[in-house]
Structure 1
Amino acid sequence: MDVDLMVTAAYGNFLPQRFLDIPRLGTLNIHPSLLPQFRGAAPVQRALEAGVDVTGVSVAYTVLKMDAGPVLRRIERPLLGDEKHPELLEELFGLGARALVDALPDVWSGAAAFDAGTTPQESYGEASHAAKVSVEESELDFCDGELSARRLHDKVRGFAGWPGTKATFAVRKETEAAADAKEVSLKIVTTRVGGEGEGEGDDAAARAAGTVVIRKDCMRVPCADGGWLEITELQPPGKKAMSARDYVNGLKGSVVAVKKTTTS
């Protein structure tokens, strides 16, 4: 087989050496992270979940070890804190395509080869791993003391699209006893981190009871760290995604409380 160069994009499997030996100039991979950070199957999801301030895309040679080859190009993308996984992934691949086109002349000329004109990843710092995301991780636990409102917000952003995030609430009428509350699992689509002391009902009693504060444009959920996660878009079971405003309109006369997940 007469092949000059092979290119992959976020290829999640290992390529055997007999495959890597085929192209005369090697195999390049577009990876949506600033290598060596977030090597692995879910770089964008894990970067958002981690709440990093800057991510990016790398063009690197492929070696037997996952995402560990020398780097030809890196493009940084500062984060504002409201990006979601699907849109950011698409944007990073656009940047990666540009970086690849920019690098190709050096590859053809030999100015950038596997062992010359590239940068070893260790020059950029320590490596980190982006493990594949599982459905079992999608539940939000507002009672976990290690998860701040900010971390929960970042998880919603990182898991947007697939697998998404969900949360379980106990909903009852004001005239009903707490024991009669119905469990409702909602897919959480869009959130923001709320400030302290905003709005009527944001008090110690509501927080201690785990009561969700219903606002006109959001549901303010008390978190174990003392912060508030504001849900602005959600999806009830069997329905399309809707604004929290529309969902809240149907909760008049209801009390909503957080329900601790049993997911470990």
Structure 2
Amino acid sequence: MKIVFAGTPEFAGKALDSLIRGGHQVELVLTQPDRPAGRGMKLQPSAVKKLAISHDIPVEQPVSLRFDGKHAEEAKRVYELVRQIEPDVMVIVAYGLILPKAFLGLPEYGCLNIHASLLPRWRGAAPIQRAIEAGDTETGVSIMQMEEGLDTGPVLVSESIPIDHHINAAELHDKLADLGGRLILAALKKMEEGSAHPVIQNENAAIYAAKIRKEEAGLDFSFPATEIINKIRAFNPFPGCTAKFRDTPLKIWKAVASDHSPAAEKAGQILSADENGIVVACGKGSIRILELQKPGAKRLPVSEFIKGFSFEHGYFE
């Protein structure tokens, strides 16, 4: 198929690579403008842009696709580019810009979105993190026909995978990216064969996955141990969960449930601290912290961390 692709991060890069390897004609790539990153804060191209350039695919990086406002002329120019290509389909993956209604009607087969959840569960910006945080035991990828609503369109193809109780958001992201790359090829094949049967989403089952905010990163040890562990997994790698110990903010990167259950005066109390982990009392049960980080330092396993940090007779706030 003749395709216009829109996407930005690594997750989208996996899908673009799959389309290229699958023999589809990617005529144009839309991606976010280069952003400053790294120690020198130099402008860096997105993962999708790097891949497109390596395959000599034309790239456009509009600031907005809205036909009003200060970037209207740029948006209209990009619209005209897409219109002239006459794509069979547009594939949109974690692009980061809203696609106006005018774009949705350009391709013969419409616009397809690769979404990292089993729609209608976890519509929105952070489906991977919210699924882990909620303690879901499975998730997956949905290939959806786009319409004006937020992730509301009918689903062409979906596939589920289990969520291992130790996996974090970064690890689950990679699994779902691979799955998305495979499923988009399956969806396009169905469309080419005329065997696609889109399934309307059940609005009563819809749940919204709000964007992860740094303000959410603080841990509250009055919550049950299971919920705290899920949050630590969900917020790894971004933004990382935090807890304060004697006025020192620490990032907690990895923790597991603990069977250590002596009586605690209050939630957040350190029950033990050795090379096997820092056991902390919670509202229900306790957790064993295995990896953490001081401000300005690198992430360390607890066996290394405790060599220069004492947790005796203390509490996490």
Distance 2:127 2:268 in 1: 37
Distance 1:68 1:244 in 2: 44
Distance 1:207 1:58 in 2: 43
Aligned residues with identical type, % of pairs: 37
TM-score, with length taken from structure 2: 0.69
Query: Which of residues 107, 121, 130 is equivalent to 1:23?
Result: 107
Amino acid at match of 1:230: R
Say whether residues 1:6 and 2:110 are aligned partners.
Answer: no
Alignment of 1:87-102 (within 5 A): 87-102=171-186
Say whether residues 1:148 and 2:221 are aligned partners.
Answer: no
TM-fit CA distance, 1:217: 1.5
Kindly indicate whether structure 1 or structure 2 has the higher relative contact order, using CA contacts under 8 Å at least 6 residues apart.
Answer: 1
Alignment of 1:60-71 (within 5 A): 60-71=144-155
Deviations 1:181-208 (A, max 9, x none): xx111111111111243xxxxx215657
Match of 1:257 in 2: 315
Match of 2:288 in 1: 230
Say whether residues 1:119 and 2:199 are aligned partners.
Answer: yes
5+ residue gaps, structure 2, are 1-82
Distance 2:154 2:116 in 1: 15
TM-aligned CA distance change 1:249 to 1:102, over 3 Å: same
Amino acid at match of 2:240: G
Match of 1:193 in 2: 257
TM-fit CA distance, 1:151: 0.4
Aligned length: 233
5+ residue gaps, structure 1, are 171-182, 198-202, 260-264
Deviations 1:58-78 (A, max 9, x none): 111111001111111111111
Match of 2:234 in 1: 158
TM-score, with length taken from structure 1: 0.83
Alignment of 1:213-228 (within 5 A): 213-225=272-284, 227-228=285-286
Amino acid at match of 1:156: I
Distance 1:30 1:209 in 2: 40
Query: Which of residues 161, 169, 187 is equivalent to 1:85?
Result: 169
- Two-structure CA RMSD over aligned residues (Å): 1.9
Match of 2:248 in 1: 184
TM-fit CA distance, 1:162: 1.1
Match of 2:63 in 1: none
Aligned residue for 1:258, secondary structure, equals: coil
